[in-house]
């Protein structure tokens, strides 16, 4: 198999690239390097490209032909909830425009399999403790809206020209499969906490008055290596005869939630540092709780998470220290 990975020099993408390389697949990476690092992709060819650029379809068609690409894993996107609320037009232009260019190039080149990096943000603020894929998809911020539109676009391409797609709705991703592939971009809770500790500052908790057991947001934290393995399971599924007969949307999580305060307690245990947070007002666009029902991906793709919250925090801390 020859796989093109957009955003493959980033945090999650680099883990998928490495797993694909380890099992002997041919890999080519497309990344604009705004958040990614070229050294993360190993010996994979790297095409530096903004997918939303006008020239992107032509460049992608060339890469598909040069590397005889069979399938695509699409990560490249803007992904900050708060930033999306402040800059919605930028998110639509980058996430939706970039994906439109990718799908057009795939159609032109006859590349018919796609694993899409979607998000639990597509659910919005669900009124249930555990979220199923067949529940309402009502995103409450522009980031989640662009991911839901991305799923619609993939489905439309399936009807129009036969694209096979698996849309993976990630819950909160953290940890590191290898110390050199840690999350180097400080956008998610655990690296934000580590950055604050390095600077001798109190980490900030946005909101302690949510309708959750301790008042802080509850999320399902999935280890990045587990998540990367889910992408390989999805690629293998799309290559099989059963693809198209089942579902195209899959939650990827552990099925267990942890609050922000609970994560901070695990950080204390792992690091030995007495983490005392500063509590501020809620951020716009943050739902109180998001926890995955993971039965569909288990039953259809044969994937389950193998690592818990302590594994995730400990691996993230090891990678953080290795990068300092």
Q: What is the pLDDT of residue 71?
A: 98
What would the two tokens of residue 177 be? 């499969």
Beta bridge partners of 88: none
What pLDDT digit, counting tens, does each position of 228-238 carry?
Answer: 999 999 999 99
Q: What is the pLDDT of residue 290?
A: 86
Domains defined for the chain, CATH in brackets: 2-173+221-252 (3.40.50.720), 174-219+254-322 (3.90.25.10)
Cut 0.85: pTM above it: yes
Residues recognised as catalytic: 143
Whether 319 has a pLDDT exceeding 90, the answer reads yes
Residues 6+ apart with CB under 8 A from 183: 11, 174, 176, 190, 191, 224, 316, 319
Q: What residue ranges in 32-112 does DSSP mark as E strands? A: 46-48, 71-74
Whether 285 has a pLDDT exceeding 90, the answer reads no
Q: What is the pLDDT of residue 284?
A: 73
What pLDDT digit, counting tens, does each position of 102-151 carry?
Answer: 999 999 999 999 999 999 999 998 888 899 999 999 999 999 999 999 99
Q: Percent of the chain scored above 90 by pLDDT?
A: 89
Q: What is the pLDDT of residue 97?
A: 98
CB 138 within 8 A of CB 124: yes
Whether 14 has a pLDDT exceeding 70, the answer reads yes
Whether 324 has a pLDDT exceeding 70, the answer reads no
Element spanning 143, H or E:
helix 142-161
Q: What is the mean pLDDT of the chain?
A: 95
Nearest to 126 by CA among 134, 118, 116, 135: 135
What pLDDT digit, counting tens, does each position of 156-208 carry?
Answer: 999 999 999 999 999 999 999 999 999 977 778 899 999 999 999 999 999 99
What would the two tokens of residue 31 be? 């990344």
Beta bridge partners of 278: 204
Element spanning 219, H or E:
strand 218-219
């Amino acid at each position: 198999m020859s796989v093109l990975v957009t955003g493959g020099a980033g945090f999650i993408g680099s883990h998928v690239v490495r797993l694909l390389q380890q099992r002997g697949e041919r890999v080519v990476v497309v990344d604009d390097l705004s958040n990614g690092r070229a050294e993360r992709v190993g010996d994979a060819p790297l095409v530096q490209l903004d997918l939303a650029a006008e020239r992107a379809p032509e460049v992608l068609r060339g890469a598909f032909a040069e590397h005889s690409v069979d399938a695509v894993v699409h990560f490249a996107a803007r992904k900050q909830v708060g930033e999306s609320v402040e800059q919605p037009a930028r998110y639509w232009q980058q996430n939706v425009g970039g994906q439109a260019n990718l799908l057009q190039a795939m159609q032109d080149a006859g590349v018919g399999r796609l694993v899409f990096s979607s998000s639990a943000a597509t659910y919005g603020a669900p009124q249930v403790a555990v979220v199923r894929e067949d529940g309402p998809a009502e995103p409450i911020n522009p980031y989640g809206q662009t991911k839901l539109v991305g799923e619609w676009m993939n489905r439309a391409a399936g009807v129009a020209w036969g694209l096979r797609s698996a849309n993976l709705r990630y819950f909160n991703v953290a940890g590191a499969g290898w110390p050199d592939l840690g999350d180097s971009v400080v956008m998610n809770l655990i690296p934000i906490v580590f950055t604050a500790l390095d600077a001798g500052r109190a980490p900030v908790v946005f909101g302690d008055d949510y309708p959750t057991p301790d008042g802080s947001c509850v999320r399902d934290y999935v280890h990045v290596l587990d998540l990367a393995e889910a992408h390989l399971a999805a690629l293998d599924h799309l290559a099989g005869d059963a693809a198209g007969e089942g579902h195209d949307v899959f939650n990827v999580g552990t099925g267990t939630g942890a609050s922000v305060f609970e994560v901070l307690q695990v950080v204390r245990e792992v690091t030995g540092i007495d983490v005392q947070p500063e509590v501020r007002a809620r951020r716009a666009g943050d739902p109180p709780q998001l926890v995955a029902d993971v039965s569909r991906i288990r039953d259809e793709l044969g994937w389950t998470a193998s690592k818990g919250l302590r594994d995730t925090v400990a691996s993230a801390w090891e990678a953080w220290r290795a990068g300092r």
